[in-house]
Amino acid sequence: MVKEWKERLKEEGILKVEEFIIEVTIDSECPCKDDVVYPAVLIYDTKNEEFYYLDEPFEPVNNFKEALGQIFEWFEKYKNGERPLMKRTPKKAAPEDVVQRFLCCEIP
């Protein structure tokens, strides 16, 4: 039986969806002055062999479970038509075709 996508992300932190590999972690501001951590989502586009990340206004979290909760909420927003803030670098957005392909993915 194929594990439900949320369970796979929870257990492995990685999910392959069509042409994308999504990795979920937690990240801290550097220098690490206040021990605040945030959800971090890295997206690898296997078609173009490029990395992107989600630059959403994530709230601070205490652990990976809380990070996943926020990420699941954002994925639901994407499924309902909200456009993801995907970036290649802090000053460079992901190409429009990549964002559109990501939005069209069928999360199992």
pLDDT tens column, 10-37: 888 899 989 999 999 887 655 556 677 8
Give the separation between CA 1 and CA 75, rounded to whole angstroms: 23
What is the number of domains present in the chain? 1
Beta bridge partners of 24: 41
Q: What is the DSSP letter of 39?
A: E
Consecutive H or E run containing 72: helix 64-79
| Radius of gyration for the alpha carbons in the chain, expressed in angstroms and rounded | 14
Cα distance between the two ends of the chain: 13
State which residues form the domain around 27: 5-104
Report the predicted TM-score, pTM, of the whole model to 2 decimal places: 0.84
And the tokens for 72?
């699941």
Q: What is the mean pLDDT of residues 95-106?
A: 90
Report pLDDT digits (tens) over 46-91: 999 999 999 999 999 988 899 999 999 999 899 888 999 999 999 9
Q: Is the pLDDT of residue 1 over 50?
A: no
And the tokens for 42?
């890295």
- pLDDT score at 6: 84
Residues 75-98 as b/e (b if ≥16 CB within 10 A, e otherwise) read beebeeeeebebeeeeeeebeeeb
- pLDDT score at 79: 86
